[in-house]
Amino acid sequence: MEQKMFCFQCEQTAGCSGCTGNAGVCGKSANTAKLQDELTGALIGLAKSCGNNPKTENTDRIIIEGLFTTITNVNFNDETLKEMIAKVKAEKNKIVPDCSACQNPCGNTDDYDMNNLWNDNEDIRSLKSLILFGIRGMAAYAYHAMVLGYTSDEVNSFFCRALSVIGYDMDMDLLLPVVLEVGEKNLICMELLDKANTETFGTPAPTTVPLSVEKGPFIVITGHDLYDLKLLLEQTKDKGINIYTHGEMLPAHAYPELKKYPHLKGNFGTAWQNQQKEFDHIPAPVLYTTNCLMPVKPSYADRVFTTEVVSYPEMVHIGEKKDFTPVIEKALELGGYEADREMTGINGGKTVITGFGHGTVLGVADQVIDAVKSGAISHFFLVGGCDGARVGRNYYTEFVKQTPKDSVILTLACGKYRFNDLDLGTIGGLPRIMDMGQCNDAYSAIKVAIALAEAFDCNVNELPLSMVLSWYEQKAVCILLTLLHLGIKNIYLGPTLPAFISPNILNYLVENYQISPISTPEEDLKKILG
């Protein structure tokens, strides 16, 4: 049967093999998927044109924006995808203006047909997919840093080179180093974003965040972009409107320059995959700043607003001027809840704690090291990553519940919602669950791990530290590649293994890095702890 689309870039892909019908499991149509392929092919053509020709001042931004647009749950709008494709093609014409009219085309700057990749040898397809999906995730981090005025020539140059590699015929021996280089460059990119966030908004500090919602008008802001939140807080000052974070915006409460706003009240709901239920008839607008948008239900369609690269048909989009007046007016019109509403996390907790970035954890490093040496802390578990809707993700809840009482749980990204409202007590005055932030804050976890290894004069793999990770989309891919670049082994990955990793490539990862699929909490804890 003829495929109407092909997409296997996220964890929920149909049958753990690929979405091929009228629409993907994420909700994007076959036509949208084809346009995203066309956009990717155009980006490859643009990247190749930069090989021997100077970029313009806009090239890097266009490449980053284009890659970000193709991440799962970012763009469902065919019209804005067509506009992005046109922007990429126009940029290429500026760089190689003679190519479009060339009488003897060499093909070096042609747009790439993504069908060539999807129909390639499965191992080549697997490695190129790791490169492509990895740089898509990295582009999200580069974009957020760029918004704050922070860029890296090294990272930007790599985007072009990695895209070009996808468009060339290369064997496995040449592709594999590029896969690991994605991880190397993503580490630089996450460090850049960490610097951008902390220098702009201050160093995160442990903060208790309520999950209840006060009566009266409010706005829910979701996604990942802290700068958009800052602008929204400024524009809603003294207007009688409260602001609540959602999903990956939760860590915003820990930044001094954001928490100083008294109308930043708390966190609404849980992880992204629950939004259709949690936003049902919500008496407030929801502002989407980056990915994690699901198809919008009629019960709240009139109160969804998008900005930056996020786009959904017929939803109001806030453009570059960042005038949030329509969002504010909708909040006042809807009025919010008539009385305070008590809400809870997945496990019934009424508050969560965030703000344990590397600045905080390393600030008490001596305390942590002493606790390990004394035996007060027996083990560290990094349990985090993307949440999702697939059955079986309660594994992460049960795993955390069953960890020894003298162990510490480091967590980040939206996977933490499976257990971040649990009260597991403290060790030496520190909570057993430490939320390190957004997915990009994997950089914090890496810094802490390296610092502990140096303190104990060993490598990271010799630490009493185990990584139990959940994945969903492409940002998780680039973080995994960063961990592999650093030589970190014995990672437990779930709830399923990526469909785009071929058996041979999987065997390579297992043999060289001892990556294991999760099984049951009991079995995995037994393997880890012996």
E strand or H helix that includes residue 423: none
Cα of 66 vs its chain's centroid, Å = 16
E strand or H helix that includes residue 239: none
At 118 the pLDDT is 97
How large is the average pLDDT for residues 334-356? Answer: 97
What is the phi-psi region of residue 169: left when phi exceeds 0, alpha when psi lies from -120 to 50, beta otherwise? beta
Exposed/middle/buried for 13, CB within 10 Å: 0-12, 13-18, 19+?
buried
- Closest-CA residue to 156 (of 145, 141, 142): 142
Indicate whether 61 pLDDT > 90: yes
Domains and CATH numbers, the chain: 30-197 (1.20.1270.20), 207-334 (3.40.50.2030), 358-529 (3.40.50.2030)
Model pLDDT for residues 69-93, shown as the tens digit of each residue = 999 999 999 999 999 999 999 999 9
Model pLDDT for residues 386-427, shown as the tens digit of each residue = 999 888 899 999 999 999 999 999 999 999 999 999 999 999
Longest dimension (CA), the chain: 76
At 291 the pLDDT is 87
Percent of the chain with pLDDT over 70: 99
Name the pLDDT band for 428 (thresholds 50, 70, 90).
Answer: confident
Geometric angle at alpha carbon 137, from 510 and 418, rounded to 5°? 75
Geometric angle at alpha carbon 272, from 267 and 278, rounded to 5°? 65
Indicate whether 31 pLDDT > 80: yes
Exposed/middle/buried for 464, CB within 10 Å: 0-12, 13-18, 19+?
middle
Name the pLDDT band for 103 (thresholds 50, 70, 90).
Answer: low
Residue 121: both structure tokens together: 């040898």
At 106 the pLDDT is 74
Exposed/middle/buried for 472, CB within 10 Å: 0-12, 13-18, 19+?
buried
Exposed/middle/buried for 262, CB within 10 Å: 0-12, 13-18, 19+?
exposed
Strands (E), 211-345: 218-222, 242-245, 264-267, 286-288, 304-307, 316-318
Q: Residue 22 in 3-state DSSP?
A: coil
- Closest-CA residue to 250 (of 292, 282, 281): 292
Indicate whether 354 pLDDT > 80: yes
Residue 487: both structure tokens together: 């030589």
Q: What is the pTM of this model?
A: 0.96
Exposed/middle/buried for 190, CB within 10 Å: 0-12, 13-18, 19+?
buried
Name the pLDDT band for 107 (thresholds 50, 70, 90).
Answer: confident
E strand or H helix that includes residue 192: helix 172-201
Name the pLDDT band for 196 (thresholds 50, 70, 90).
Answer: very high
Query: 210 CB contacts (<8 Å, ≥6 apart)?
Result: 265, 266, 267, 350, 351
Model pLDDT for residues 262-273, shown as the tens digit of each residue = 999 999 999 999
At 429 the pLDDT is 83
User: DSSP character for 524?
Assistant: H
